[in-house]
Structure 1
Amino acid sequence: MIDTLAIFKNRVPDFNRLLANGFAKSDGGYQNSYELLNGEFEMEIFVSDAGKVSVKVFDAFLREEYVLVHMPGAGGGFVGTVTAACEEVLVKIAERCFYYEVFKTEQAKQIMEYAEKTYGDELEFLWSKLPDNAILRRKDTQKWYAAFLKVPKTKLGLDGSEIVEILDLRALPEEIEQIVDGKRFFGGYHMNKKHWYTICLNGSVPICEILSRIDASYQLAKKK
C-alpha cells in the first residue's frame, strides 16, 4: 500500500518548487502525472492548497484505476513492484518540493529564523528514529548550541499529557542553578543538566529573552 502519510509526514509544500518541477496549478491545488514501469502505468498526483497529497494510479492500457496499490495487505509481487515505483517518485517529490515543518509554535519559527539570519545555521535532523529532535550547531566548532524536541508535558514535571515543543540551551553551571524553577526553566532534557537547561516554547519565556539566551549559548559553544 502506498504510504503517503509516512512519506510526507511533517512536510509542507513549497508551491514554487512544485511549479518548477512540472506541477500545474488547478482548482484547489497543483497536479502532475508520471509514467511508471516503462509506461505500463500512470500516476496522477494532486497536492491541495492545504498541503494534502492524494495519488491515483491507472493501468495505461486499460485506462482503469489500479486500486490495489491503496489496499492494505494486497498481495502479489507485481502489486509490490507498482507500489515501489510509485513511492520512489513520491519520495523524490517530497525531497525536491516540500520542506520540513516539525516545530510549529510561533516561538520555534522565530528562533529558527533568527538562527539562520544571525548565524547562518539551519536545523539538523540527525536521528532517523527520532524525527522530532533537531539541533543547531556552530559551523566553526561543530558544537551544538541549541536542541529542539517535542515531549509530553509530564516529562518536564508539568500537568497534562499533551505534547509540547521545548528548547535546550547551554549555560554556565552557576546560572543554571539560579534559574531552574520547574516553571519557566527546567533541567536540560536529555542533556547534561550541569551545562544545559530547557525552555518550554509556550510563551512562558518572552521571545526576546529566548533570543538573548541563544546568543549566550552560541558563545559557550565556541572552542575553548
Structure 2
Amino acid sequence: MSLATDYFSRQTPIVEKLMAYGFEKRDNGYFYNERFMEEEFEAQLRIDEAGNIWDRVIDCDLEEDYLPLQQAAWQGTYSGQVRAAYLELLERLSVACFEATPFQSMQANRLAKHITKEWSDPMDYPFEKHPDLATYRVGGQMVCHDFFSLG
C-alpha cells in the first residue's frame, strides 16, 4: 500500500473539487502533479472513476521513483523530511478535495449519512483503546427506521 492510498483510505474524492484544485481529467481518471521541497521532488497522483488512488514521488535530479518514501523501514533524516513534506501535500489535497468516509463499506457510510441527516446525531467514539471504532447513540429514537430505502 502506498502512502497516498493509506492516507486517503477513509476518504472519498469530490470530482468537482478535484477539478477546481488543478487535477486534469484524462482517459478514465484524474491526474495531478506537484513539485515540492524546492522542486527536488514531484508528486504524481492518479484517481480513477471508482476513487482508487495511485501515487508516485519522483526524485527530479535522478528522474526516478524515490523509493525510501514507500518503504516504512527506511528511517533516514532526509527521507523523513521528504515524507513529512509529502504528507503535508496530501493533507492539503485532503482538505481541499476529499470528504471523510469513516467506515470501510459503502453501505455503512450511506447509513451514517442518513443518521446524520435524519436525526442530526454525530458519531460517538467511546473506546479509548480503539479510537477508530464508532457508534451512534440515538436517545429514544429507533435507528433502523427506513434504511431499506437507501439502496
TM superposition score normalised by structure 1: 0.54
More strand by share: 1
Aligned length: 141
In structure 2, the gaps of 5 or more residues are: none
Return the offset for 1:78: 1.0
Instruction: Note the C-alpha offset of 1:130.
Output: 2.6
1:1-224 pair list within 5 angstroms: 3-103=3-103, 104-105=106-107, 106-115=110-119, 121=120, 123=122, 130-133=131-134, 149=135, 167-171=136-140, 199=143, 205-207=144-146
Contact 1:43–1:55 under 8 Å retained in 2: yes
Q: Deviations over 1:34-72 (max 9, x none)?
A: 111111111111112111222111111221221221123
The one-letter code matched in structure 2 to 1:73 is A
Deviation at 1:132, TM superposition (A): 4.1
CA distance in 2, matches of 1:22, 1:125: 35
Normalising to structure 2: TM-score of the pair? Answer: 0.76
Q: Give the C-alpha shift of residue 2 in structure 1.
A: 5.9
Distance between the aligned counterparts of 2:6 and 2:56, measured in 1? 17
| RMSD (CA atoms) | 2.9
SS at match of 2:85: helix
Distance between the aligned counterparts of 1:63 and 1:125, measured in 2? 46
Identity rate, percent: 24
Contact 2:121 2:137 in 1 (8 A): no
Within 2, Cα distance between the matches of 1:10 and 1:108?
A: 13
Paired letter, 2:131: L
Structure with the bigger RCO (C-alpha within 8 Å, sep 6+) is: 2
Counterpart code for 1:169: V
After superposition, the Cα gap between the structure-2 partners of 1:15 and 1:132, relative to the gap in structure 1 and judged at 3 Å, is farther
Counterpart of 1:68 in structure 2: which amino acid? P
Equivalent position amino acid for 1:85 in 2 = A
| SS of residue paired to 1:94 | helix
Based on CA coordinates, which of the two structures has the bigger radius of gyration?
1
* Alpha-carbon spacing, 1:46–1:55, altered in 2? closer, same or farther (3 Å): same
Distance in 2 (alpha carbons) for counterparts of 1:102 and 1:75: 30
